[in-house]
């Protein structure tokens, strides 16, 4: 690898405020705020709007769209 061309790859805490869920991962993202993690070390904190803890697909609260009913209504409306 060439020196000084790659971003700093470091441990970062991602926090989903909606679900009160945090996880530690590695990233190149930077942040001015820090948080003390369970291991006692301080890591940069990245706040998320949505994560697997609050996304409807992963929580099972996703609405299923009735596509067959829509097709039938379209055919009835335009009498195909």
- Tell which residue, 54, 34, 36, has the closest CA to residue 44: 34
Q: 11-48, pLDDT tens digit by residue?
A: 999 988 877 788 899 999 888 999 999 999 999 998 88
pLDDT classification of 59: cutoffs 50, 70, 90: low
Position 39 scores a pLDDT of: 93
With beta carbons less than 8 A apart as the criterion, state whether 59 and 53 touch.
Answer: yes
The chain-wide mean pLDDT, for the chain, equals: 80
Give percent of the chain above pLDDT 90.
Answer: 28
User: Structure pTM?
Assistant: 0.62
Element (H, E) at 31: none
| pLDDT reading at 52 higher than 70 | no
The one-character DSSP state at 73 is H
Domain edges within the chain: 10-78
């Amino acid at each position: 690898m060439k020196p000084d061309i790659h971003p700093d790859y470091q441990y970062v805490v991602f926090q989903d405020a909606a679900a009160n869920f945090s996880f530690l991962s590695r990233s190149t993202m930077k942040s001015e705020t820090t948080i003390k993690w369970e291991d006692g070390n301080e890591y940069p904190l990245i706040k998320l709007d949505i994560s697997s803890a609050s996304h409807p697909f992963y929580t099972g609260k996703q609405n299923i769209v009735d596509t067959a009913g829509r097709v039938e209504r379209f055919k009835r409306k335009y009498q195909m």
